Structure 1
Amino acid sequence: MGLTQNQIHAVEETIKQSLKNRFESYNPEPASMPFHTRLLGKDRLALYAFIHSLNTNFGTTIFEPVAIALATSKFKVAQRQVSAGSKISIAAQFEIQKIMDELTAANIKPDKQKEIELIREVCQTGEMRTVKPTMIDIYLENENGEIFLFDIKTAKPNKGAFKEFKRTLLEWTAVLLAEKPDANPSSLIAIPYNPYEPKPYSRWTMAGMLDLPQELKVAEEFWDFLGGDGAYNDLLDCFERVGIELRKEIDHYFERFNPNR
C-alpha cells in the first residue's frame, strides 16, 4: 500500500524543517582538538561534530516529528512529548515492584496483558501519590479508543537498560489507568531502525524483560504500524530525496568551517 502523496509531502517537509531547525540551533562547543584538526581539517571535524550531535538528538529532532506526520492520517490522536499523568496509587507501585522483582529473578515470563490487568485491579486502590513519570515520546489513540504509548530508543540500547525501560512502560500504564481505569492502553519500546540489517534484530537480550510481540517494534514494525504497510521503505526514500535536495545547502553550511574558502 505504502504512503500517499500527501503523506510523502508531509513527511519530507517535516524532515526538511527539522534539519533546518537543527542547523539554526546548532552551536558547536568551542573545544580545542589540535591533533584532530590538523589531521582531518576544521571543516571535516565540524561535520563530524554535527553528525554526532544529530545522532544524539535524532529521536526528538527527526524521528518524533516524522512519526507524528505519518500517524496523523491513521490515528484519531497523534501527539509527541505527552505526560502520562501525575498520580499513581501505592498499590499499583507495589504491584509494579512485584512484577519487576519476579522478572528480574526469572520466576515469571513477561506477559503484557496479564500485567495490565494486575495493575488495573489496583490502579485506584489506597493512597494516590504525585509522580512525574518519563514523558511519552509518541501518544496515539485510534477510533476504537485503543491507546498506544511509545518510548523511542536508540538502535543499540545496553542490555541492562531494558530493566528501566520495562519499569517505565509499567508506570505509564499505572498512571494512565489511575485517571482512566477503563482505558485500553499499550505501552511499547520503538527502535527506529535495525543496525544489524540484513540480519534480524538481536532480541534475545530483552526477552526476559519485555513481552516482545506486545512491547517492542523495530524498524518496519514501528513505521508500518504508524503509516501502514510499506511505510518504512517509502520513508527511507523520503530521507534520500531530502538529502539530495538539501545537499548544496548542507555543503554551504559547512563551508564556513573551511579555512581555505
Structure 2
Amino acid sequence: MPVRLSVCRRGGDTMRPVIGITTSTLKPKPEFPLTQVATTRAYSEAVMRAGGIPLLIPPLPEIAEMYLDAIDGLILSGGGDIAPWRYTTEPPHPQVYGLDETRDALEVALAQAAVARDMPLLAICRGMQVLAVALGGTLIQHIPDAIPSALEHRPEPLRVPLPRHEVQIAEGSRLAAVLETQRLSVNSGHHQAVRTVAEPLQVVAHAPDGVVEAIEVRKARFVVGVQWHPELLGDEAVHQRLFKQLVQAARGGRA
C-alpha cells in the first residue's frame, strides 16, 4: 500500500507553501551512538522569514518522488562533496571530503524531478553543484589546483563568519532581476566549483577569479543555484530576496 505524505499548509488566511530542505547524515559518535540527519537552522529560519513552512528531508532516495508530492518548493542545502564518479573519470582528489552516496542519490533524483516538474528550487553551495551534475554538468574537484591564482574560497580551518568576495551577475539574468543588482558581496566556504553546465542550465555569475558563482534555468518558474550561503546572510535584505522569490514561486501550487 503506498505511503502518502501530507502536511498542513494553511497559516491564518494565507496559504504558506511547504519548502523541503535536504539534510546531511551525522554518523554515530561515542556520546550518541545513533545515526542522525540534520542541517543548519539558518535554512529553516530563512524560509520562515520568507513566509514558507520548512520541512526537513532525510536522505531516503527510494521515496524521492513522494517527497516532491508533499512539498511546493525545494532547497538543496550545503554539505560535503559529491562522489566524483558522478561527473568525471578522474580519481578522487585528496581534498575531497564528506562523501555520502545515499544523499547524492536522493538529491540528484530530486533535482532532476523538480526541474522536470517545474518546481521552484533554490540550490545552495553543494546544492548548486548537485544541480549542475544532475543535469549533465561537471565540477572542478579542487579549485586551487585548477585555478592557481584563485581567491580563497574556503579557508582552512573553516571559520564563521565566512570570508567574503564580490560576484558579477549577468545582465538580463533571472538572478539579477531577483537581487536587483549585478554586483554583490557574498560569503564563501567551498573548495569545489562548477566547471561546465548542460542545458537547460546557464551560468549567470562569476567571482573575480572566474569561478562560477551562480546558475539558473531561465524559463523555469524559479530554478536558481548559488555557490554562496545566503541563509547565513539573512540580516541583509538582498540575500533574503532569494528565499522570498522561492516562496513566492511556490505559492503558485504544486507542480
TM-score by length of 2: 0.31
Q: Which has the higher contact order (CA 8 A, sep 6+)?
A: 1
Going by fraction, where is helix more abundant, 1 or 2? 1
TM-score, length-scaled by structure 1: 0.31
| CA radius of gyration, larger in | 1
